Amino acid sequence: MSNKIVIGTRGSKLAVTQTETVAAQISEANPDIEVIISRIVTEGDQNWHVQLSNTQGIGIFVKELEEALLQDKIDLAVHSLKDVPTIMPPGLCIGAVSERHDPRDVLISKGQKLAELPAGAKIGTGSMRRAIQVNACRPDLEVSGIRGNIDTRLRKVSDGEFDGVISAAAALKRLGWEDKITEYLSIEHFLPSVGQAALAIECRVDDQRVAKILKQLNHLPTFHSITAERAFLFALGGGCRAPIAALGTVNGKTLYVDGLISNVSGTKIMRDSEQGRVDEAKEIGERLAQKLLDAGAEKFLSEVEDYDTNR
């Protein structure tokens, strides 16, 4: 049996930092195993100048890592869970998820909170979900697309290109940049992306050696939460670009899921919740999706399809 584990990751500072955390956990629990990190360039990294809302493909940050897994070039791949499509390639699965960090979105500005920014201030985000929720709170602000790694985005604020950018709290905290956060945005107004702040550790379905290692790392409350969130997203038929948000939270043996969907323009937002036992996480997510579909969410999804077709 091999005493080596090769972990694949994107090459960004955040991705490597996240992967190093997982590697350290594996090493601590399995001191006899040599852990090697392999950096792999993904389509999303190569096409960094293209706005995410303008990309047709889903999974642009994971595809090359999954190919490396299927070709036995790596044993594991570490992803930001929000980047992982709900439909995975045959032969691969999410073997474990890390304990979720702070799921909130944050504003980084030159000191002004969202409510304090002047009318017309320019806010940067690469997420349709975030743009819609900014507009719902402050329709007088200008929301513009932005790409690049986190330090690039922060530099665009300090250089005055943007008055503020919206990012994930977990990303700033993992990089040790918590002091750069101007404001934590409330879950009430900024429901996060499905899987935000959790890490997915992907592996081959038939790799029993790796499965045994990952069982030690899997955080069950987070796993139940993201199972419901991803079931919600899948049942709505939405991909990573669709304006859909969800957050699951576990309290004892009860799982509560809050979900949101909007039309492309952000003029109509629907939000509801569902709860149940943690062992029925998938069903809870599906029930919540059905609630929104029954209330008319299907027409929002049709708008996304029309938007893709007519671009």
Give the active site residues: 83
Q: Which are the contacts of 78, defined by CB distance < 8 A and separation ≥ 6? A: 7, 8, 9, 15, 18, 19, 22, 199, 200, 201, 202
Distance, in Å, from the CA atom of 76 to the CA atom of 66, rounded to the nearest integer, reads: 9
Distance, in Å, from the CA atom of 240 to the CA atom of 86, rounded to the nearest integer, reads: 9
65-70, Cβ contacts within 8 angstroms, sequence gap of 24 or more: 65/8, 65/9, 65/10, 65/40, 65/202, 66/92, 66/202, 68/8, 68/38, 68/40, 69/8, 69/202, 69/203, 69/204, 70/204
Distance, in Å, from the CA atom of 19 to the CA atom of 202, rounded to the nearest integer, reads: 12
Going edge to edge, which strands form the sheet with 4-9?
34-39, 4-9, 76-80, 199-204, 92-97
Token look-up 């005055």 returns 160
Distance, in Å, from the CA atom of 19 to the CA atom of 5, rounded to the nearest integer, reads: 13
Question: Which tokens go with 276?
Answer: 């149940």
Distance, in Å, from the CA atom of 198 to the CA atom of 170, rounded to the nearest integer, reads: 9
